[in-house]
Amino acid sequence: MNILYQFNEAYAPFAGTSVTSLFENNKEAKAITVYILGEGLSKDSVRRFEELAGQYERTVTFLNADAVMERMRELNMPTYRGSYAANLRLFLTDILPKSVERLLYLDADTIVCDQLGGIYTADMGEHVIGMALDSLTKRHKRDIGLMPDEEYYNSGVILFDMNKWRMAGCTQKIIDHVLRVRSHYPAPDQDLLNVCCRGAIYRLPVRYNLQPIHLAFSYRQYHRFFGQSAYYEKEEIERAVKSPGILHFFRFVGEFPWHQDTLHPDRAAFDHYLSLSPWHDYQKKKAQTGMIIKVEKCLYRILPRGVFIMLFKLCHMLFIDRANKDSLKKKTNENM
């Protein structure tokens, strides 16, 4: 299996925890090569990844993305939290060896809970990539130009058919879109993939990108406030909660599992694999959050889940609206 991670130095301990979970739960795989697109990685981080690979008799290959990041600057590609790391995966044809025909990309904030042979060898037909649906999308789809009944995917886990990606010219389509249509989106790489690969995305099972909202709330609670026509059925979600393949623990009530005193539903899984990794000495710190997030966390502790998710939906809608207005404002400024 060829697995790709991309992250900067700040995320190295979390990516290392994810790679540990990958190796630990895929010992039966004949060979695993982990490609790392690192931004500003320290010598200590590189050493720890090499130590981890040696422990499991796997291969870690560090890729140089300097030329690609310079190209992204020239194209005015958007950054995410000040980093180009999020969009590097859109330029894989410029970075990866041509011998790589299939590739599974995993976000640094994931934990692999099961064997990945099934997803890695999935028959995607004529689709260029495979992704799982995103759980919080109803309002956002409209804002980026998708129809309400269209599927919208999360980019935390992506299965690439590199031959089809090259033949379809996907990288060039993304570049053309950035230059001629819109460069800034609230979720930079994710929105670009959904818009530019529209109709060419294979739906992965929800268990391979299980998002925190399904662990924190029941299906009934989720569906009442975030239900949409283009999403997974109740039975599949409930099976995934009982037997996840990949946990994707993006920010929940303002925090990640690596924060101190976190309420994140994935904290136990993260702590387990962190303890097995070369980063077992990582010291958790409190999340740097504002008053709104502190109030949200307090309400999560004391309110019934059904009441909290209603407030959560309101906050999410306000965040999406503001993010889209900000990105459209950037587009307007570029065209002036």
The CA distance from 319 to 124, in Å, is 34
Higher pLDDT, 85 or 300: 300
Domain that holds residue 272: 2-335
Q: Quickly tell me which residue has 């268990």 as its tokens.
A: 207
| Six token digits for residue 47 | 């050493």
Give the CA-trace dihedral at 201, 205, 210, 215, to 10 degrees. 140
Under DSSP, the state recorded for 40 is: S
Spatial CA neighbour of 218 closest among 257, 265, 269, 155: 265
SS3 7: strand
Tokens representing 131 are 């992704």
Q: What is the CATH number of the domain that holds 13?
A: 3.90.550.10
**CA atoms of 144 and 132, how far apart (whole Å):** 18
Q: What sign does the dihedral 9-293-231-194 (CA atoms) show?
A: negative
CA distance 174 to 192: 7
Average pLDDT over residues 286-294: 82
pLDDT tens per residue, range 75-103: 777 666 667 767 788 888 888 988 999 99
- How many structural domains does the chain have? 1
Q: What is the pLDDT of residues 233-276, one digit of tens each?
A: 999 999 999 999 999 998 888 899 999 999 999 999 999 999 99
Q: What are the tens digits of pLDDT across the range 129-154?
A: 999 999 877 778 888 889 888 999 99
CA distance 116 to 18: 13
**How far is Cα 185 from Cα 154, in angstroms, rounded to an integer?**
14
